[in-house]
């Protein structure tokens, strides 16, 4: 029997349709329908200046909105062959890690909600609020920050701001272990998450899984390792696990939060003085840049004529992760609630994914023309 | 007498359904943040779940995309009376940055279903959402319930 | 069991009951932090109506410039209005606002500095040095607004990074065409409109060819072309009336069209022109005689100068666009060329 879930369903936060093929209580396989939030954002960006484009790129996804603007700005900096001032690079790392913490916390809280563990769900949201305060203090807005520009960041910070962020991080660290322990050693939670939704390393490579999903399955791959700011200034190690089940994915996120707190402390202690923005003249050309978003790898490919964006293409991590989930994790799952929990554990972000062009294989026709020229 | 009793019950227990009709996800996250202990939406008798069949309040976030044009009206008709629709964020109000040449959104949402309250912002802060929902929600539901069908 | 006792103990305490009864949201959460960027604040009195904020805004419905009605004493003031249903609170309008002090304030923008305000304007202004009479009127106007025009090597130039695209320089320039506002977007569409206008004008003149042939050397022939069809076709190319009018105005100002007529009856098949024609547009066929192919013709007038029998007629047409797109006309003025005839 086919059990359709969504697009509006109590178990899902965002509109997507899961078609579960079930026999009795058992889920045999799953299929996913996309396309509910396709807005044509790449087409809108064409013919705009980067000043407008950066606000559009911010609205690709609401949870990891920061990393989109950073990648957008760094692509333009690559085209110009320059880099932002070193203080701006440090501030970018600071915001990026704060954003990663809040994204991972909300991902884990959604997973606990899917497992019907309301206590931890509320605890995670409780931990998240101070982090949102830190982001708001730093950038001026909670979600869509408007903080990055090509050539640096918009606002400078002073020492009192950094001190209050440091205090928030200290508080978070002292409270944090208690909740991780609840998950790590809790018998009921362990029973429902260990060995559920397993994906082996080979499957992860086949499905091109990235981010915490790939790293929990044994793919030791984190683009922050190769990013010049992290590479030159910070002590950073890739966190990865071998198990590849729901437990490993959630624990991987918890460990990355610890590491992000460590990175933020390093930033605040070592931040150099200086300018936070410089003027960059952009020549005509093409550039691409990859960055590690909270969910994995995000790529921007931009072609510009020096003033306007000619062409832009965005690749976000969720599309690979959701595909990996449907193909390899939702296979022979014991119950339907477990299937929902597995789906929540890959941290799906639908707003990110909806950028595809669908081509009919036989007639080679564009079913949904993304580059719709007529209005 | 019966009406007064109905009013009290309608005001004190509100079920909310959240529909993302093609936004950036930011407003949804701010609604989820309302569930956190700091804002604690549930102490006001408001319960968020995504089930349109028992919803009193429908929160719409997002400009209306191609796929949602008919489905939104279907979901709206499935919610029982009395119901109110609250548009959160700029996308359902004006289409935000997406409503430009070449995009595939059909904002505003009031072209498709009647909207009772609006909360501008991209995204609005949780406190703004909370103030707006508490300001308009309970009374509007009670008032709608008193209208003759 | 122990937990049950603990819960009973917890619930029995008076402080717990008090807290439970008085559970309320902390009023602190309604306060916004100091660096929060709220909706922009507009201070009308400083606005110079340059339109930089509307051009810069990434959201299409957020800012509009409006003008209050004129009173007896003074003109109505122009100022921006923020539409909260469209504003995304990015603060970019405050960043680009060129007035000092700022008309629009938005949050704590530390880096509102001159060198970063790169304006995403839709028009680019340039000074045509050939037509410029160096009256310095634009320099004076601009120094009050943005200070983008300066004198370099006895030439006037516009610094594109400072220009706010207000268009005041064009209004004050005494020479028509010396300062041009060029739309930098929709270049392909503008090309299409230019082609459309030229084709339409040419075909209109072709219709009257018989009359043109009978013109005396000093006589002037005039046609008025109404705009209705042209505008309708142009709107199919692009729906922006401003761009259409701007393009048509500019092209009719500069356009000079050469018209060549061909009178077969006068031809005596001497074939002098066949050899002279540089593009091979004139051919000789034993059956049909001398033939001219208008598509290949360069309108170079060599055949007109060569022909001893006056087969080719050469005329020059100029154009003037007056009125608006709705009720405007293009005046076509045609007169025979004054070129000497060689033979």
pLDDT at res. C264: 79
8 Å CB contact between A68 and A142? no
* Token pair belonging to C30: 């309604």
Which residues of chain B have a Cβ shorter than 8 Å from any chain C Cβ? 38-40, 43, 90, 93-97, 99-100, 118, 120-122, 125-127, 130-131
Does residue A31 lie in a domain region? no
Confidence band (pLDDT; 50, 70, 90) for A166? very high
Q: Does A26 touch chain C (CB under 8 A)?
A: no
Identify the bridge partners of residue A256 per DSSP, sorted by sequence position.
none
C123: three-class secondary structure by DSSP: strand
Share of chain C above pLDDT 70, in %: 92
Nearest to C111 among A56, A144, A155 (CB): A155
Nearest to A51 among C92, C107, C109 (CB): C92
Q: Are residues C150 and C233 in the same domain?
A: no
pLDDT of residue A193 exceeding 60: yes
pLDDT at res. C293: 83
Touching subunits of B (3+ CB pairs, under 8 Å) are: A, C
pLDDT in tens, B26-75: 888 888 888 888 888 888 888 887 888 888 888 898 888 888 888 889 88
pLDDT at res. B5: 84
Contact between B38 and C26 using a beta-carbon 8 Å cutoff = yes
C31: three-class secondary structure by DSSP: coil
Q: Are residues C231 and C91 in the same domain?
A: no
What value does the mean pLDDT of chain A take? 86
- Mean pLDDT, rounded, for A157-168: 90
- Mean pLDDT, rounded, for C135-163: 79
pLDDT at res. A253: 92
Which residues of chain C have a Cβ shorter than 8 Å from any chain A Cβ? 33, 35-37, 56, 58-59, 88-92, 95, 107-111, 115-116, 118, 120, 184-185
Which residues of chain C have a Cβ shorter than 8 Å from any chain B Cβ? 23-26, 29-30, 32, 58-61, 83-89
Does residue C81 lie in a domain region? yes
Nearest to A146 among C35, C90, C184 (CB): C90
Q: Find chain C residues with C-beta within 8 A of A48's C-beta.
A: 58, 120
pLDDT in tens, C286-320: 888 888 887 888 888 888 888 888 788 888 888 88
Contact between A144 and B29 using a beta-carbon 8 Å cutoff = no
C-alpha separations of B145 from A56, B7, B10, B42, B132 in Å? 41, 8, 8, 22, 20
Q: Are residues C262 and C166 in the same domain?
A: no
Does residue C28 lie in a domain region? no
Q: Are residues C212 and C315 in the same domain?
A: yes
Q: Domain limits at A71? A: 40-320
Does residue A4 lie in a domain region? no
Does residue C341 lie in a domain region? no
- Give the residue from C183, C200, C223 where a domain finishes: C183
Contact between A308 and C109 using a beta-carbon 8 Å cutoff = no
Q: Does A83 touch chain C (CB under 8 A)?
A: no
* Token pair belonging to A104: 């991972």
| Domain tally, chain A | 1
Q: Are residues C215 and C299 in the same domain?
A: yes
pLDDT of residue C174 exceeding 60: yes
Q: Concatenated DSSP letters for C138-180?
A: HHHHHHHHT--EEEETTEEEE-TTT-----HHHHH-SSTTSEE
- Give the residue from C116, C135, C153 where a domain finishes: C116
Q: Are residues C224 and C303 in the same domain?
A: yes
Does residue A13 lie in a domain region? no
pLDDT in tens, C188-207: 788 888 888 888 888 888 88
pLDDT in tens, A96-155: 999 999 999 999 998 998 888 888 888 999 899 999 989 988 888 888 888 888 888 888
Contact between A36 and B65 using a beta-carbon 8 Å cutoff = yes
What is the three-state SS of B29-65? HHHHHCCCCCCCHHHHCEEECCCHHHCCEEEEECCCE
> What CATH number should be reported for the domain holding residue A311?
1.10.645.10
Q: Find chain B residues with C-beta within 8 A of C89's C-beta.
A: 121-122
* Token pair belonging to A102: 């809040």
pLDDT at res. A244: 86
Does residue C9 lie in a domain region? no
Q: Are residues C238 and C202 in the same domain?
A: yes
pLDDT at res. C2: 66
Share of chain B above pLDDT 70, in %: 98
pLDDT at res. A90: 92
Does residue A275 lie in a domain region? yes
| Domain tally, chain C | 3
**Nearest residue of C to residue B99, measured between CA atoms:** C60
Contact between C29 and B127 using a beta-carbon 8 Å cutoff = yes
A90 alpha-carbon distance from chain centroid: 20
**Nearest residue of C to residue A51, measured between CA atoms:** C120
Confidence band (pLDDT; 50, 70, 90) for A372? very low
pLDDT at res. C144: 74
Q: Find chain B residues with C-beta within 8 A of A43's C-beta.
A: 102-103
Q: How far is B110 from chain A (nearest CA, A)?
A: 18
Contact between B123 and A142 using a beta-carbon 8 Å cutoff = yes
Does residue C273 lie in a domain region? yes
pLDDT of residue A360 exceeding 80: no
- Mean pLDDT, rounded, for B101-106: 80
Contact between B38 and A129 using a beta-carbon 8 Å cutoff = yes
If you ran DSSP here, which 8-state letter would residue C114 be given? G
Domains plus CATH for chain B? 16-143 (3.40.50.12280)
Nearest to A55 among C36, C88, C115 (CB): C88
- Mean pLDDT, rounded, for C175-182: 80
Q: Are residues C253 and C326 in the same domain?
A: yes
- Mean pLDDT, rounded, for C272-279: 81
What value does the mean pLDDT of chain C take? 79
pLDDT of residue C256 exceeding 70: yes
pLDDT of residue C119 exceeding 80: no
**Nearest residue of B to residue C57, measured between CA atoms:** B97
Does residue C326 lie in a domain region? yes
pLDDT at res. A362: 58
Does residue C165 lie in a domain region? yes
8 Å CB contact between C100 and C144? no
Q: Find chain C residues with C-beta within 8 A of B126's C-beta.
A: 29
What value does the mean pLDDT of chain B take? 84
Q: Does A133 touch chain C (CB under 8 A)?
A: yes
Q: Domain limits at C79? A: 41-116
Question: For residues C104 and C112, what is the distance between their CA atoms, to the nearest angstrom?
Answer: 12
pLDDT in tens, A275-308: 888 888 888 889 999 999 998 889 999 988 877 8
**Nearest residue of B to residue A46, measured between CA atoms:** B102
Q: Are residues C73 and C168 in the same domain?
A: no
Touching subunits of A (3+ CB pairs, under 8 Å) are: B, C
If you ran DSSP here, which 8-state letter would residue B8 be given? H
pLDDT in tens, B2-18: 888 887 887 788 888 88
Q: Are residues C282 and C145 in the same domain?
A: no
Contact between A125 and B35 using a beta-carbon 8 Å cutoff = yes
pLDDT in tens, A310-326: 888 888 888 888 888 88
8 Å CB contact between A40 and B103? yes
Which residues of chain B have a Cβ shorter than 8 Å from any chain A Cβ? 17-30, 32-33, 35-38, 49-52, 62-63, 65-68, 71, 75, 96-98, 100-105, 122-123, 125
What is the three-state SS of B63-115? CCECCHHHHHHHHHHHCCCCCEEEEECHHHHHCHHHCCCCCCECCCHHHCCCC
pLDDT at res. B98: 86
pTM: 0.75
Contact between C23 and B43 using a beta-carbon 8 Å cutoff = yes
Longest dimension (CA), chain A: 65
> What CATH number should be reported for the domain holding residue C58?
3.30.70.20
């Amino acid at each position: 029997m086919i059990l359709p879930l969504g697009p509006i369903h109590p178990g899902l936060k965002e509109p997507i349709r899961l078609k579960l093929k079930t026999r009795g209580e058992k889920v045999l396989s799953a299929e996913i329908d996309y396309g509910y939030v396709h807005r044509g954002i790449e087409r809108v960006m064409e013919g705009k200046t980067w000043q407008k484009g950066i606000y559009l790129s911010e609205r690709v996804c609401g949870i990891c909105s920061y990393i989109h603007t950073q990648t957008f700005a760094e692509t333009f900096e690559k085209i110009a062959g320059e880099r932002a001032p070193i203080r701006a690079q440090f501030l970018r790392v600071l915001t990026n890690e704060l954003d990663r913490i809040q994204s991972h916390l909300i991902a884990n809280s959604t997973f606990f909600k899917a497992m019907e563990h309301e206590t931890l769900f509320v605890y995670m949201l409780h931990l998240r609020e101070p982090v949102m305060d830190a982001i708001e203090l730093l950038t001026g807005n909670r979600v869509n920050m408007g903080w990055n520009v090509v050539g640096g960041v918009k606002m400078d910070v002073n020492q009192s701001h950094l001190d209050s962020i440091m205090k928030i991080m200290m508080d978070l660290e002292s409270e944090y272990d208690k909740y991780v322990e609840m998950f790590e050693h809790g018998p009921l939670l362990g029973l429902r998450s260990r060995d559920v939704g397993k994906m082996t390393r080979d499957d992860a490579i086949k499905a091109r899984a990235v981010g915490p999903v790939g790293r929990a399955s044994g793919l030791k791959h984190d683009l922050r390792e190769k990013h010049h700011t992290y590479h030159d200034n910070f002590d950073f190690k890739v966190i990865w696990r071998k198990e590849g089940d729901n437990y490993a994915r959630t624990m991987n996120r918890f460990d990355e939060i610890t590491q992000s707190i460590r990175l933020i402390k390093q930033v605040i202690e070592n931040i150099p003085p200086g300018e936070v923005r410089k003027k960059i003249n952009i020549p005509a050309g093409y550039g691409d840049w990859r960055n590690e978003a909270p969910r994995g790898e995000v790529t921007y490919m931009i072609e510009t004529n020096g003033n306007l964006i000619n062409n832009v293409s965005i690749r976000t991590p969720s599309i690979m992760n959701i595909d990996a989930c449907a193909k390899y994790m939702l296979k022979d799952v014991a119950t339907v609630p477990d299937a929902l929990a597995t789906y929540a554990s890959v941290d799906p972000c639908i707003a990110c994914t909806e950028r595809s062009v669908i081509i009919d294989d036989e007639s080679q026709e564009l079913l949904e023309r993304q580059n719709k020229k007529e209005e | 007498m019966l009406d007064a009793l109905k009013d009290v019950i309608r005001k004190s227990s509100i079920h909310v359904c959240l529909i993302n009709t093609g936004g950036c996800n930011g407003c949804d996250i701010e609604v989820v943040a309302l569930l956190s202990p700091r804002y604690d939406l549930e102490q006001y008798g408001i319960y968020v779940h995504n089930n349109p069949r028992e919803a009193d309040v429908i929160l719409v976030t997002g400009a209306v995309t191609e796929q949602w044009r008919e489905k939104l009206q279907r979901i709206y008709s499935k919610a029982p009376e009395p119901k109110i629709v609250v548009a959160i964020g700029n996308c359902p109000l004006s289409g935000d940055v997406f409503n430009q040449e070449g995009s595939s959104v059909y904002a505003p949402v009031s072209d498709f279903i009647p909207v009772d309250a609006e909360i501008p912002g991209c995204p609005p802060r949780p406190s703004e959402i909370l103030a707006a929902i508490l300001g308009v929600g309970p009374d509007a539901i009670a008032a709608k319930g008193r209208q003759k069908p | 069991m122990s937990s049950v006792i603990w819960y009973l103990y917890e619930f029995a305490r008076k402080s717990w009951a008090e807290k439970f009864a008085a559970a309320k949201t902390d009023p602190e959460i309604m306060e916004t932090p100091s660096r929060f960027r709220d909706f922009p604040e507009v201070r009308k009195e400083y606005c110079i109506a340059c339109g930089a904020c509307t051009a810069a805004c990434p959201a299409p419905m957020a800012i509009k410039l409006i003008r209050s009605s004129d009173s007896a004493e003074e003109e109505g003031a122009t100022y921006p209005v923020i539409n909260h249903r469209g504003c995304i609170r990015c603060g970019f309008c405050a960043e680009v606002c060129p007035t000092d002090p700022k008309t629009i304030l938005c949050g704590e923008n530390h880096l509102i500095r001159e060198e970063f305000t790169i304006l995403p304007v839709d028009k680019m202004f340039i000074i045509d040095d050939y037509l410029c009479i160096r009256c310095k009127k634009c320099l004076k106007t601009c120094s009050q607004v943005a200070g983008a025009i300066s004198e370099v090597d006895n030439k006037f130039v516009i610094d594109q990074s400072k220009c706010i695209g207000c268009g005041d320089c064009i209004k004050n320039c005494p020479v028509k065409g010396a300062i041009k506002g060029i739309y930098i977007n929709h270049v392909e569409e503008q090309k299409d409109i230019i082609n459309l206008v030229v084709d339409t004008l040419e075909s209109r003149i072709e219709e009257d060819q018989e009359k043109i042939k009978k013109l005396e050397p000093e006589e002037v022939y005039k046609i008025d072309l109404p705009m209705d069809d042209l505008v309708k076709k142009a709107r199919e190319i692009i729906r922006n009336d401003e761009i259409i009018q701007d393009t048509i105005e500019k092209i009719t100002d500069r356009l000079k069209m050469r018209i060549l007529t061909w009178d077969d009856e006068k031809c005596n098949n001497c074939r002098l022109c066949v050899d002279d024609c540089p593009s091979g547009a004139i051919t000789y066929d034993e059956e049909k005689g001398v033939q001219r192919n208008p598509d290949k013709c360069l309108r170079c007038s060599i055949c007109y100068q060569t022909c001893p029998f006056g087969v080719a007629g050469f005329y020059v047409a100029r154009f003037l666009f007056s009125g608006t797109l709705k009720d405007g006309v293009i005046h076509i003025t045609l007169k025979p060329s004054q070129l000497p005839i060689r033979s």
